[in-house]
Amino acid sequence: MRIENCTYRLRPEPCASWLEAIAKPFAEGLGEHAYPLRLSLVEASASSVTIEATVVRFSQDEPHAAALAEVELLNPRRRTHPSQPFCVAQIVPTGVRCEFGGYAGDASPVTNLLASVADFLVTHPNAVNASELNEMADNVLYVEGKALDDFLLGHVGLAPVSCNRIGTFVDPTGIDHLDYVINTLNAARTVKGVSCELYTVLEKQLGVQIEWSGTGCAVGTVLAPEAILNAVAKLLQQKVEAVGGVSVIHGVTKEMFTRHMSGEIPNPSGGVEAIITHLITKLFRIPCAHAPLPYYQSMKGSQTGNPRAAAEFISTPHYYCVLKGLSRAPHLLSIQSPEQTPSQVITINNIGAVVTPASCLGGIPALAAEYHGIPLIAVRENRTVLDVTNDRMGMKNVIEVNSYLEAVGVILALRKGISLASLRRPICGARRVN
């Protein structure tokens, strides 16, 4: 098994949605025995698209070959009808220098504000993880990014729970920091009452290495992915229901860290952390999240002039936020159809809106929202290094807003069934159709 970052330049087919337009040409470019862990359109026009993807290459005789052969992106399951409860999906893409969410937990206030006007808000750990802090509201569903993609593609249902038994894996590269991890586990058990007593040290070093994509996004690779899979299998034998991990991330320089602190580049480690959890989600369908061991401890100093980054400076293992999130993360259920699920399971039918930065409309969540005809609220203030706006995509379901404050008003109107056109002036009168 090998993980690599690839760029694909494709000619889209004439279809009703971008998801359908790129499916066949992307599958042809992907080839056999390859699975896309992450994917995003980074340039788009009517005649060509550029896709950046992180791909797992595998042989046909590997233990997980059958699971990796099923590519959810190529077989989305259509939303059938709107259902209650009313849910919103919030996307804060990793590794693209989001103005809100580009630092540890600085998207938490807007996350909780959006959650206040929904029955449930579905979002991923990147939106709320903040070292020793995780202040997400009680109705926020903490769902790993790949699971969130597959949920929006209609392949996964979410079953809310009150608690999970959590297992932890530790990259032996960071064995000198094991005491910090154990103290975090014990503190979470003692103070918060989290069931997280089990951990395992991987059989070999992961070799987690950052990389940069052609568009300046933080991505990366893992040299020994099998070590993660073996550890997760071992923890599942002990009846854990969710898995967290900590590993050392290589390749971050002092210059990179300084530029990230000043807002010039994305968090160098954000993209490769997603690769680790995406792989776990795909193959085991369990809640999971990851935190970096202190790869930059010697270069970061003791304080920062950037308040959005302050949470990174109050912890060594950065792991308590993961334990708090996973403690009640919903279980992931593979489903055949959104309407063939128990009533208490949340599916794509429950999603009334998707919220994302306005420059990130090429990710799977945005593509899935267009495919299903779900309102896609694009927030201009959450700027990123990307420039995939609706001027380029031409999606008919996009509602552009300036801020998350405005997004909350749109969501509330959608939930209450109030026409957005009635809230603006001038307002058009009745129109006869012949």
pLDDT for residue 300: 58
**Structural contact between residues 290 and 277, judged by C-beta atoms closer than 8 angstroms:** yes
DSSP one-letter code for 191: I
Render 288-307 in DSSP notation, one character per residue.
EEEEE--TTHHHH-S--S-G
pLDDT for residue 112: 98
**What are 122-139's pLDDT values in tens digits?**
999 999 999 889 999 999
Closest CA to 326 of 355, 282, 291, 350: 291
Q: Where are the domains of the chain?
A: 2-74
pLDDT for residue 341: 84
pLDDT for residue 82: 92
| 159 three-class SS | strand
**What's the rounded Cα separation, in Å, for the pair 338 and 313?**
42
Render 353-375 in DSSP notation, one character per residue.
EEEEETTBTTBHHHHHHHHHT--
Half-sphere exposure in the Cβ direction for 366 (13 Å, CA): 30
**What's the rounded Cα separation, in Å, for the pair 160 and 84?**
14
pTM: 0.95
Residues in CB range of 177: below 8 A, 6 or more apart = 246, 293, 294, 316, 317
In a 10 Å sphere around its CB, with 0-12 CB exposed, 13-18 middle and 19+ buried, how is residue 119 labelled?
middle
**Structural contact between residues 177 and 294, judged by C-beta atoms closer than 8 angstroms:** yes
Q: Which residues of the chain have pLDDT under 70?
A: 295-305, 313
pLDDT for residue 305: 67
Residue 147, both tokens? 């699971």
Residue 149, both tokens? 């993609």
